[in-house]
A and B are shown apart, each in its own frame.
Chain A
Amino acid sequence: MLRIENLRKSFGGVSAMNGVSLNFAEGSLTAIIGPNGAGKTTFFNLVTGAFKPDAGTILLGDEDIAGLSPPEVVRRGMARAFQIASIYPTLTVRESIFGAVNAHRGWHARLGRRFPLAEAKAQADEVMELVKLDSRADTVSGYLSHGDQKLLDIALALALEPRVLLLDEPTAGMGPEERWQMIETVHALWERKHMTLIFIEHDMDIVFRYAQTIRVLSYGTVLAEGTPDEVRQHPKVIEAYLGSHFEHTDSR
């Protein structure tokens, strides 16, 4: 589904992405982990067109999308949510989701109709129900709790019915209980929508419990990849990131 080959990016003289090659199978659930500054968010920014790569190919299906702008990448079936929730603070949840559905359907520039469009309702309702925001549909997004804003950010991406969904630290800034609720919501989405889901995460309990496969980045290179068991026992990962005392425990 998504194949990255020899991806490179430098900022000034600093190499942020140093020949990364990764393959994400269709319908897989993958976690990307690594220490701060490893290049995880840069990787997302390159894949989604926020940054133009210096070299390398990004194959979405059979098409090389390297260097395309974010709208062009999204139009080809990739969507993302951000580390800091990126929402529309003055619009309600409902208006935001309808807006995203309009964007996906190509109805966002219609002038002769009144918002919201009746034909967008079924999908908008489904998305709000999927992320459990239906009870807060008429709340102004800027007044939502941090966790709900993160859910709304994910909902905006979901409204695009992506083939590949990238989530940048979906549990960032949340308390322990909220984190597990969030990741279970994300996991349920993945199961229901059968999409390729890639998420960046720092909570190793979450990563090792939910991810099918894990990619470990360090200093802009791939340090290791494999199943949770393989990564957990990888000497380089233990040395550079997890530490020799790491043990996976369910912290709920």
Chain B
Amino acid sequence: MRRSTVLRDVAFAVGVLAILSVLPFVFPGRHFSDFVIRMSAFAVFATSLNLLIGYGGMVSFGHGLFYGLGAYSFALLMQKAGTSIPMAFLLTMLISAGVATLIGAICIRLKEIYFSFLTLAFQMLVHSLIIAWTPLTGGDQGLTGGVPRPPFLGIRLDDPHHLYLFCCFVLVASLFVMYHFVQSPFGYTLRMIRDNPRRVGFLGIQVWRIRLLAFVVAGIFGSVGGLLMSLFVSSAYPDFAYWTISGEGVFMVLMGGIGVFLGPLVGAVVLLLLSDIVTGLTEYFGLVLGVVILCFALGLRKGLLGTLWEAWRDRRRAGAGLAAGKH
């Protein structure tokens, strides 16, 4: 990769981080920072799911497994092992990588709906394990006693502002890494597999290896989403590993736009806004969400950002065509 490209991307990421860090002064109060923290958790999770769906053509119905795994692994490491936050962060990613390798090795050999339902089956297995293993996980009550947040490198995550900045940093860093992942030769091989796996095999590529690596990377970042949420709520609950989390992830991807990298981020913002606003007005959130999803399925199949992106691209092409016609 050219040094200038990396520097440009780093500068962009630093710029976004700088803007995020001053926003709490523009929007004071906990409501805004809490929203951004929750959005960070879901955006990292949904973007990781989009690596599978949008770039790999692997529609996982069980990606919430890694969200729950991340939340429980991190919380338990902090509670029971008393590790530092950076160490627990790293170990959580390693645990997720290990679990994703095991589950992925089985799932990625299946195609389409079979892959989808096998991932769902593994998620429900983990959810059942969390419910059943009460001495460790707290069962259906979730972990009790809170997640310790000892300071590290001068960062105190029990301070809401520090937690906000930390979550913003993890969000930007995760998106940065995943963006470079999809822009790498590996990312394009993944797109080729999404389009035509058989043809990829006839290019001399072992398709399952690429799929497995994508599954592992997606699993790692899916767990980072859960980790952020466990930091925010200072606990972990079985719902984090329930199938509805996977469903919400899929909705975020669809609402934002499958074919656009930042689509899931937009989807996370929209879904959380919708949730916060609608639940304040009516108890029938599910009904409203259903109508919204229906609208997207019928009229905005490319998602919000996907539709805008296509409109911009078509307009630019039309402009280029007109310019060429003048010569």
Contact = CB atoms under 8 A, between A and B. Distances in A.
Nearest to B193: A88
B32 interface: no
Contacts of A108: 185-186, 189, 203, 205, 210
Contact of B199 (A69, A88, A116): A88
B310 interface: no
A110 B202 contact: no
Interface string A66-109: 00011100110001101000111111000110111011100111
B209 interface: yes
B201 to A, nearest CB: 5
Contacts, number: 106
A100 B2 CA distance: 22
Contacts of A82: 199
20 contacts: A74-B201, A87-B196, A87-B199, A88-B191, A88-B196, A90-B191, A91-B195, A100-B203, A103-B203, A103-B205, A108-B186, A109-B210, A110-B184, A111-B186, A113-B1, A114-B1, A114-B183, A115-B184, A157-B202, A160-B203
Interface string B166-188: 00000000000000110111111
A114 B192 contact: no
Nearest to B9: A114
A163 B235 CA distance: 60
B314 to A, nearest CB: 12
A159 B188 CA distance: 16
Interface of A: 48, 69-71, 74-75, 79-80, 82, 86-91, 95-96, 98-100, 102-104, 107-117, 156-157, 159-160
B318 to A, nearest CB: 15
Contacts of A75: 204
A117 B199 contact: no
- A88, A107, A157 interface centre (most CB from chain B within 10 Å): A88
- B185, B186, B196 interface centre (most CB from chain A within 10 Å): B185
B195 A114 contact: no
Contact of A114 (B184, B201, B213): B184
A104 B202 contact: no
B5 interface: yes
A74 B204 contact: yes
A70 B184 contact: no
Q: What does DSSP make chain A's interface, helix, strand, loop or mixed?
A: loop
Contacts of B201: 69-71, 74
A108 B213 CA distance: 13
Nearest to A86: B199
Contacts of A114: 1-2, 5, 180, 183-184
Interface of B: 1-2, 5, 180-181, 183-189, 191-192, 194-196, 198-207, 209-210, 213
A114 B195 CA distance: 20
A159 B1 CA distance: 22
A96 B192 contact: yes
Contacts of B185: 99, 102, 107-111, 113, 115-117
B251 to A, nearest CB: 23
Contacts of A86: 196, 198-199, 202
Q: Which 9 A-B pairs have the closest CB atoms?
A: A74-B204, A103-B203, A88-B195, A114-B1, A108-B189, A110-B185, A86-B199, A70-B201, A115-B188
A116 to B, nearest CB: 8
A160 B204 CA distance: 9
B59 to A, nearest CB: 16
A167 to B, nearest CB: 13
A114 to B, nearest CB: 4
Contacts of B192: 88, 91, 96, 99
A89 B191 CA distance: 10
A91 B192 CA distance: 8
Given A111-B180, A117-B185, 10 more contacts: A79-B202, A82-B199, A89-B196, A96-B192, A99-B185, A103-B189, A108-B186, A112-B184, A114-B5, A116-B188
Contacts of B209: 109
B195 A71 contact: no
B258 to A, nearest CB: 11
Nearest to B184: A111
Contacts of A110: 184-186
A95 B205 CA distance: 16
Contact of B186 (A48, A71, A104, A109): A109
A162 to B, nearest CB: 10
A160 to B, nearest CB: 7
Nearest to B1: A114
Contacts of B188: 91, 95, 98-99, 102, 115-116
A82 B203 CA distance: 13
Nearest to B202: A70
- A86, A115, A159 interface centre (most CB from chain B within 10 Å): A115
A184 to B, nearest CB: 25
A121 B201 CA distance: 22
B93 to A, nearest CB: 16
